[in-house]
Structure 1
Amino acid sequence: MNSLLQISDLEVCYGDAQALFGAAVSVAEGEFVTLLGRNGMGKTTTVRAATGIMGSRKGRVEFAGQDVSRWPSYKIARLGIGLVPEQRQVFPNLTVYENLVATAHNRLNRKDPWTLARVYKLFPRLQERAGNLGANLSGGEQQMLAIGRALMTNPRLLILDEATEGLAPLVRGEIWDCLQSLKNTGLAVLVIDKNIGPLLRIADSHFILEKGRTVWSGSSASLLAAKDVMKETLGV
């Protein structure tokens, strides 16, 4: 598979405090990849640096064959990255419909673009809540809306930071079903989450961060077999 996102030797600082010490992650076209690790190990920082939301001190980020290491976030997004950020960050004073169309674009001229009808089919509850303000949705509905909003930009890569954090088990199941469906369409996906079980069933490969470094990578079968790695780095 052709590489879509390639993060190499990434170093990032918050002021004088260094958060990443050489993180490395890769996602191929159509691949479902996870970024794992305990809290505070640099997962969100890696995503923020890869999408241009924050700068890096060293390292390289390539997307769709281009070096985007020093690009602004809006320019990287236009290449085809859809981000579902931590804590969802839906527009609270816009309706569900307005959230979905606010940034919608088929910039890459896809033949089967994500449309309102297609998002509503994926998440029927959003159609039911189309006139409701983002602030009045439940946590699960906000996450569905955040995913739908990202899909409406018709990305080549969908990134989810804490995909099911704080959601009820039933809603988490709906999100995992959605992600499986997206994988089946051939969309590349990069997920951060703490629920290892569903990720092992869906994901093609995994990268584990510990103290700002990528310390392990491999397939689901390899991770299942590496009990010591799971215990030491994930506490599982």
Structure 2
Amino acid sequence: MLTVHALEAAYGASQALFGVSFDIRDGEVVTLMGRNGMGKTTTVRAIMGQLPLRGGRVEFDGRPISGLPPEKVARLGFGLVPEGRQIFPTLTVRENLVATAAHRLKTPNPWTLNRIYELFPRLNERARQMAGTLSGGEQQMLAVGRALMTNPRLLILDEATEGLAPVIRAEIWHVVERLKAEGQSILLIDKTFSVLKRLADRHFILEKGRTVWSGSSADLVNDHDRVQAWVGV
């Protein structure tokens, strides 16, 4: 589905990615791990067309998408839950959900308001509430729901549980498990090692803008000492 090969990118004169490579197959849950500042969010921004590439390539379904503007990348079937949520604070919960709603891929069971409300009942309770007045956990639910309303082929969750109360984190992970069971392809950026090794199919670790390790969850456990050195878990 998604192939990222030898990706290089920079913020102005400061290079941030020096050779990031990974891939995601249809229906897989894949993680990008690494300590803060190692290039995970920068990689997502480069994939989504938000940051120009200096080298490497990005392909989606075998089609090169490097250099496409963000709106065209999104229309190919990407749903992004960005770091920091970035919901629309002056719109209601319902308005946030319908603002980006799309069903371009014509899947048999598309995400609708009712399905999102069933997934996150709290959003239904607060449908008419301004999004900026929600709690942090509720805003994260809204960010996930908004991404799903685009009916993406690939859902990208960038630190979706960071800073949340344990009960909300558990709810988000439960939703991710359900999405995986339904065959949703997912790229996870997170630090919750105990959950990731159980939930994801494969893992990639970034160190200073490079891919330094990849493997299955079994490999992750067997190579714990090296993984710990890179991820700091």
Name the TM tier (shorter chain). over 0.9
Using structure 2 for the length normalisation, give the TM-score.
0.99
Write the distance in 2 (CA, Å) between the matches of 1:232 and 1:76.
34
1:111 Cα deviation from its structure 2 partner: 1.5
Write the distance in 2 (CA, Å) between the matches of 1:95 and 1:72.
28
* 1:139 alignment counterpart: 136
* Match status 1:28 vs 2:47: no
1:110 Cα deviation from its structure 2 partner: 1.3
1:60 Cα deviation from its structure 2 partner: 0.3
* 2:73 alignment counterpart: 76
* 2:217 alignment counterpart: 220
- AA aligned to 1:205 is R
1:34 Cα deviation from its structure 2 partner: 0.5
1:23-58 residue CA offsets vs partner (Å, 9 max, x unmatched):
012111000000000000000000000011111100
CA contact (8 A) 1:64 1:79 kept: no
1:19 Cα deviation from its structure 2 partner: 0.4
Q: Percent identity?
A: 62
Stretches of structure 2 lacking an aligned partner (at least 5 in a row) = none
1:115-173 residue CA offsets vs partner (Å, 9 max, x unmatched):
00101111001000101111001111001000000000000000011110100111100
Stretches of structure 1 lacking an aligned partner (at least 5 in a row) = none
- AA aligned to 2:57 is R
1:194 Cα deviation from its structure 2 partner: 1.1
CA contact (8 A) 1:13 1:57 kept: yes
4+ residue segments displaced more than 6 Å: none
Aligned length: 233
Write the distance in 1 (CA, Å) between the matches of 2:207 and 2:91.
38
- Give the 5 Å matches for 1:55-204: 55-204=52-201
- AA aligned to 2:35 is R
CA contact (8 A) 1:156 1:187 kept: yes
- AA aligned to 2:219 is S
